[in-house]
A and B are shown apart, each in its own frame.
Chain A
């Protein structure tokens, strides 16, 4: 039986609203459908996407936005964490 979450997942898939990551080595990540920057400093970046929260740890992190509803994170990346987004 379909519940709201499953419907939302299917809708995101069909409408290409998933969070897509393209990781190049440990130096660059391209993140699609990024909504907001929650926290940001030189070594830590917390992002809100359409369906989750991403935490990126590293050093010399810098972000670029080219008006594509996504961002590019560059620097020396040590880890990426995925957290479920809590809808309030």
Chain B
């Protein structure tokens, strides 16, 4: 096999004293093999590096030397000795393959539900991981720690790479319910000043009766009970206490106010995204002020592989500060919408027994004061042995 690399020359030697010539070859430490004499002509094989020496030896001993054949990779390569472009191209090709094998070509994200892919990508970018980055330079441990610190929604992050593909696995935080655990003793106290309408006690002793009035903080269901033998027990009180209470909310709207409104003009820009570099495709002025920004990138594909090269389309929608004037009817309509939104968001789980409105107008604004009489759950858990 090595002969194929080194190059082997088959030579023919003819002359008077061939035995002497063979001895001189051996004396000069020239490796020569498969020598045989056919009809007075010596045929043998030597390595390419020894040919010049053999030729000189042949001249000295009046032996006529000729090359029968040359075999080996070295001769094939020598043909292209002058082809510098081929060598440069080969080096560039090898360099390109090496580079493409060691940069981030794809980022796969899994396990995220409430955290969007875009958020994860921007967090990765802050940690130095993005398309086109040199993989040996990436510090995954640092990126994992930074991502967990940056957002409370992420409980655990694992980042690794398989070739040019960076895989990000996320475990999100499971939100714990805002209640006292069942193994912790607690009372149920009133959260508002109310009149008890109905009660359901699952655990503990009910203190007030139906129809009683209670103040905020009053004990409704006690977690400390006495059993038949007179021994006191401490437990986690559970139950539903429905009470009727009043709530007063003030809604107002100014007759003139400045609002941020999206302008009708829209600016579109394009950038060439090349391995994480953003190269603008047009010369344009910088947009000042506040604006709404949106971008998306269309990447080039090559045989079903998405490359980190593409065109990024950017849209800017500037905000305008506009002074909006309302008359009385318009202001009232705005307030009524606010009241509906409030009832939809905060009074969904309550029953509105009575709603009384009172409106007032001054120079600058209109006000509507709404008095609600509501029916709903008033009990909240309070730990018996609260930590200081």
Chain A residues near B32: list those with CB within 8 A: 64-65
- Map CB proximity to B onto A53-88 as digits: 1 under 8 Å, 0 otherwise: 000000011111111000110110000000000000
Q: Is A41 an interface residue (CB 8 A)?
A: yes
Contact between A65 and B31, CB atoms less than 8 A apart: yes
Known interface pairs A65-B31, A66-B31. Does A36 touch B23 (Cβ–Cβ under 8 Å)?
yes
Contact between B29 and A38, CB atoms less than 8 A apart: no
Q: Is B264 an interface residue (CB 8 A)?
A: no
Chain A residues near B22: list those with CB within 8 A: 37, 40, 63
Q: What is the interface of chain B mostly: helix, strand, loop, or mixed?
A: mixed
Contact between B37 and A41, CB atoms less than 8 A apart: yes
Q: Is B35 an interface residue (CB 8 A)?
A: yes
Instruction: With CB as the reference atom, state the residue of chain A lying closest to B43.
Output: A62
Q: Is B384 an interface residue (CB 8 A)?
A: no
Instruction: With CB as the reference atom, state the residue of chain B lying closest to A70.
Output: B26
In the bound complex, CA of A38 to CA of B26 (Å): 13
Query: A4 CB to closest chain B CB, in angstroms?
Result: 27
Q: Is A39 an interface residue (CB 8 A)?
A: yes
Contact between B38 and A64, CB atoms less than 8 A apart: no
Contact between A42 and B36, CB atoms less than 8 A apart: yes
Chain A residues near B23: list those with CB within 8 A: 36-37
- Map CB proximity to B onto A23-44 as digits: 1 under 8 Å, 0 otherwise: 0000000000000111111100
Categorize the interface residue count of chain B: 10 to 19
Chain A residues near B37: list those with CB within 8 A: 40-42
In the bound complex, CA of A66 to CA of B34 (Å): 11
Instruction: With CB as the reference atom, state the residue of chain B lying closest to A68.
Output: B31
Contact of A62 among B18, B25, B29, B36 (CB under 8 A): B36
Q: Is B118 an interface residue (CB 8 A)?
A: no
- Map CB proximity to A onto B323-343 as digits: 1 under 8 Å, 0 otherwise: 000000000000000000000
Q: Could you pull out 27 A-B pairs where Cβ atoms are within 8 angstroms?
A: A37-B19, A37-B22, A37-B23, A38-B19, A39-B19, A40-B18, A40-B19, A40-B22, A42-B36, A42-B37, A60-B36, A62-B36, A63-B35, A63-B36, A64-B32, A64-B34, A64-B35, A65-B31, A65-B35, A66-B33, A67-B29, A67-B30, A67-B31, A71-B26, A72-B33, A74-B34, A75-B36
Closest 8 CB pairs of A and B: A64-B33, A62-B36, A37-B22, A37-B19, A63-B35, A41-B37, A67-B29, A65-B26
